[in-house]
Amino acid sequence: MYVRISRFKLKPEGVIAVRDGYEKDVMTPVTSAKGNRFFCVLLSTEEERVGSQVTGWDSKEDWESFSASGYEEAMKDWWWVFEERPKATFWEIKWPGKIQFDPLASGDNPIYVRVTRFKLKPEGVATVRANFTENIMPSVANSKGNRFVCMLLSADDGRTGSQISAWDSKENCDRYLEDILPKFLGKIDWVFEEMPKATFWEIKWPLGIQF
């Protein structure tokens, strides 16, 4: 699956406008596009008004087709909301992940999201790939409060990766970070050329996930 992540910063007056209008004017054209698999907007818990839009596609060609024909139309009335315009990076979901929640049923309760970025050693790629499904993913997915987890690899650099995990509360994420992750990370830290660095986000508004 081909994944586009765009990072942006909203103007103060843009936050309300996006919250109130993006589902109809932005999300609907994206989720209706050929090959779109999911769409969500994250807001940083650490940087005010900083967000990321994450979309998943069946293929790079599906994204490029939408980008060429529908993206500018969907965004034409929304560029004014940005203090810093979106800057995109492109990724691929290489290995199985777990998504097991109805995002529209979460109501006003935000989903807490941890995003880690890392770089693997050349010899670490095969090890992570071989162990992800049986050993790496379950340590996250079976933790209390986990809602989904997936691993991305950069479409431009096959050793730069990102793990995205979502939680029903900050407290459950913190419990995983304190009680489970240190024991597990010590066993595989040799695979990293650059150790994982985490940022934290919340899914605030409705989204579409349609695997």
The whole-number pLDDT of residue 183 equals 80
Quick: pLDDT tens for 112-124: 899 999 999 998 8
Percentage of the chain lying above the pLDDT 90 cut: 28
CATH number at residue 166: 3.30.70.100
| Res. 103 pLDDT band, cuts 50 70 90 | very low
What's at 114, amino acid-wise? R
Domain housing 39: 1-92
Among 37, 63, 92, give the residue marking a domain's end.
Answer: 92
pLDDT at 184 over 70: yes
Q: Is residue 206 pLDDT above 50, yes or no? A: no
**Total number of domains constituting the chain:** 2
Residue 210 domain flag: no
pTM comes to: 0.75
Environment class of 113 (CB within 10 Å of its CB; exposed 0-12, middle 13-18, buried 19+): buried
Tell me the mean pLDDT in the region 156-175.
Answer: 89
Residue-wise pLDDT tens digits, 107-164? 456 788 999 999 999 988 888 877 777 777 888 888 998 888 888 888 888 889 888 8
> Taking each helix axis from N to C terminus, what angle separates 181-188 and 122-131, rounded to the nearest 10 degrees?
130
Greater model confidence, 61 or 157:
61
Query: What pLDDT does 63 receive?
Result: 92
In a domain? residue 121:
yes
**Residue 196 forms part of a structural domain:** yes
160, 118 Cβ separation under 8 angstroms: yes
